[in-house]
Amino acid sequence: MNTTQQILFDEPGPRARRRIRIATVLGALAVLGGLAWAVHRFASYGELAADRWQPFTTWPIWRYLLDGLWATLRAAAATAVLSAALGLLLALGRLSAHRPVRWLAGAYVEVFRTVPALLLIYVTLFALPQYGLNFPLFWKLVVPLVVSNSAAFAEIFRAGIKALDRGQTEAGLAVGLRRGQVMRLVVLPQALLQLAPSLVSQLVGLLKDTSLGFVVSYTELLYSGQVLSSYTNLLIQTFLVVALIYLVVNASLSKFARVLQARNGRLTGRRKSAEPDPAASLLVQGGTAR
């Protein structure tokens, strides 16, 4: 156990470990019991019959669902890129030395962190067209998601930048770099490396937000499932398959986040044991150049 963990909590004793094991077993039994009950109920109503699952062994059905998945991934990718770019600008704005810039960026973040994405979609769908802003279907989903998620990205970026050792900035200023150059060349590369797992985790939530596309009739995965279930009259089977697809995609992103976190942990450990402090290196380089 590392030092931080020892400060935060004591290692469980034998009785506490026994209680944890009992609670874990009881929780697992409860989950398995719930699943068994659900399977029994589905079977009693004939939902597990082979003929009700047979359509999902055909390529046209899967092609339709995969088209919906592709639409979901396109919307998520566009939202992620634009949200990250706007979020980074907002984070830099909140850290700006100019008070009006800090106030405007902070007001944007605080407002749109609290406004539900669904409400923003309704504004884009019903309110903005009255003022001549009638976006294409794809952007009626992406624009409100960008507005909502950029506030979350801004807080992630700001937290990562503020968590970086202040000596990095001071070292850059000491060798004659301007504040903008220090942020671009010294601070951001290190902060983004540390934030990679958090950013990937944010993508999981963003991907799930694209399911709100059914409000604007954008044919993402969930909307495709709704259309397919009304066509085949296989409501439970269709949404179980759709849920499985979401599970596979989001589990893959979560696994990627854990891999990045473990990799960053190993790199940080090696850097601390084998390399000099980056700020000190920058100062040495500056002194040599002079």
What's the average model confidence in pLDDT over 130-134? Answer: 88
Average pLDDT over residues 8-15: 68
- Residue range 4-21: average pLDDT? 68
pTM: 0.74
Write the CB contacts of 32 (distance below 8 Å, at least 6 apart in sequence). Answer: none
Report residue 230 as tokens. Answer: 């009304």
- What pLDDT is recorded for position 86? 94
pLDDT of residue 4: 40
Q: What is the mean pLDDT of residues 214-234?
A: 90
Per-range mean pLDDT, top range of 5-9, 38-42, 61-65: 61-65
CA distances from 227 to 73, 213, 256, 275 (A): 19, 13, 32, 57
Residue type, 118: L
At which residue do the structure tokens 């899967």 appear?
62
Residue 151 has pLDDT above 80, yes or no: yes
In the chain, the amino acid numbered 153 is F
pLDDT > 70? residue 57: yes
Give the integer Cα–Cα distance in Å for 96 and 125.
34
Q: What is the mean pLDDT of the chain?
A: 81
